[in-house]
């Protein structure tokens, strides 16, 4: 899906977001996954309000309930299953703040 050069170019955006905190505006739990995400299903996706922008990403390491208004923090994670000859794609996901 992604060429190595595209991954390299987009990696620069990761550090802008890493560690930023925000609030969940809306969320869903995807039960029927996208190709490349099969082994993660079901997974949460949240729309998050950060200080300067909104951002959409997965919410991971969830043990309790998910609700709008919860505070989250941007972390770096493997995004999806790479194809056999792909560079492993890393990017931003969110975890709940205690």
The footprint of another protein (CB under 8 A) covers: 1, 10, 25-38, 40, 43, 45, 47, 53-58, 68, 79-80, 89, 91-92
CA distance readout (Å), 88 to 20, 43, 73: 23, 19, 22
Closest approach, Cβ 83 to another protein, in A, equals 12
For residues 14 and 97, which CB has a smaller minimum distance to another protein in the complex? 14
- What one-character DSSP code corresponds to residue 39? G
Give the nearest distance from C-beta 35 to another protein in angstroms: 4
Question: Taking the complex as a whole, how short is the minimal distance between the CB of residue 52 and another protein, in angstroms?
Answer: 12
Other C-beta atoms within 10 Å of 23: how many?
A: 15
No. of helices (H) and no. of strands (E), the chain: 1, 5
Nearest to 93 by CA among 42, 26, 18: 18
* Closer residue to another protein (CB): 48 or 85: 48
Of the pair 54, 97, the CB lying nearest another protein is at 54
26: tokens are: 């809306």
């Amino acid at each position: 899906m992604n060429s190595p050069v595209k991954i390299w170019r987009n990696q620069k955006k990761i550090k802008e977001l890493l560690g930023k905190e925000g609030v969940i505006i809306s969320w869903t739990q995807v039960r029927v996954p996208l190709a490349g995400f099969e082994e993660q299903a079901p997974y949460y996706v949240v729309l998050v309000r950060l200080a300067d922008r909104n951002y959409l990403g997965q919410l991971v390491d969830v043990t309790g309930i998910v609700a709008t208004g919860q505070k989250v923090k941007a972390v770096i994670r493997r995004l999806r299953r790479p194809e056999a000859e792909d560079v492993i794609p890393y990017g931003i996901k969110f975890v709940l703040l205690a």
